[in-house]
Amino acid sequence: MKQVRIGLLGCGTVGGGFVRLVDSERARIRARYGIDLGIGRILVRNLAKERRGVDRALLTDCAVDVLDDGCDLIVELVGGIHSAGSYVRRAIANGRNVVTANKALLACAGGELFATAAASGVRIGFEASVCGGVPVIGALRRGLAGDSIEELTGILNGTSNYVLSRMEDGLTFADALALAQTNGFAEADPSLDVDGEDAAQKLAILAELAFDTPARKTIVTGIRGVTADDVAKARARGEVVRSIAEARRVAGGVELRVEPRCLPKGHALAAVRDEQNAVIVRGRAVGEIFLSGKGAGSMPTAAAVLADVIELAAAQGLDLRCRNPYCI
């Protein structure tokens, strides 16, 4: 049985979910893969805060206690760019594989971090950075590696999709957004979501994986300007309004676009409601592939983080062939 010790940076919504998921899935992972996952030190902002299912003895408010603790890999879930970037760079310098759900960091400095990791002989897992538990990054990196991608189209921001879904039910934008905040789908400052920047960051990550040419331009329009009248008129035409993120090949490169669009009700993305995410990938050989699921939340995102942890264990000399005799 191979022991794998994880250093965890951040124990908020996703981090706490990750700790609980490791605990609940530990026996299955031991039996299936022959590895025993354990959480080492955990970086938090507030040591006094109660955290369900988290051993308080593991907590620290000093990042060095986690980064230099001799763990096997680092999971970064603090978010943001500057501090998180410093932590990831130090982990790489220490020769540690890293798993992150930080879309903002990857959109800003992903190229540099991946190059540094490659030069240091380590890897960065980032499945959870886009669409939470929907395995779109794995599909692009592995499942579709043999095909040329022509276009990506999707709903990448659950907050905007939730707001537009409630507007379909008759609410105004302001009331729908307030309800999203009450139900935990929107932050107190929802600008990153409703102005389209969150979706644009995720789209940039997907485009980097999907295309072999750089983005030529990025156009971002949020949903603040969508009115109840717009939604009603779309319904009268047999359409729905969705915030669509699209990356496609154009002359001279790749164009990235995030904007509200009216879709016919028969469109695959028209049926995606509430906080759900979905992506349509169109390849030259495979045609269209549709992926959909919960794009955010504690446990779906934690599950994507854990999947990367298991995969990166293979990079540390583990045999991850499934021990279930019914697996091919």
Alpha carbons 134 and 197: distance in angstroms, whole number: 20
Bridge partners for 152 per DSSP = 247, 281
Give the Cα separation of 294 and 301 in Å (integer): 9
Q: What is the DSSP letter of 38?
A: E
CA 62 to chain CA centroid, nearest Å: 26
Decide if 273 contacts 235 (C-beta within 8 A).
no
What is the C-alpha separation between 120 and 97, in angstroms, rounded?
10
DSSP E strand stretches across 111-225: 124-125, 149-155, 215-220
Q: Are 136 and 214 in contact (CB under 8 A)?
A: no
**Catalytic status, residue 202:** yes
Beta bridge pairs of residue 291 = 279
Catalytic residue among 202, 233, 265, 294: 202
Q: Which of 100, 141, 97 is nearest to 117 (CA)?
A: 97
Residues identified as active-site: 202
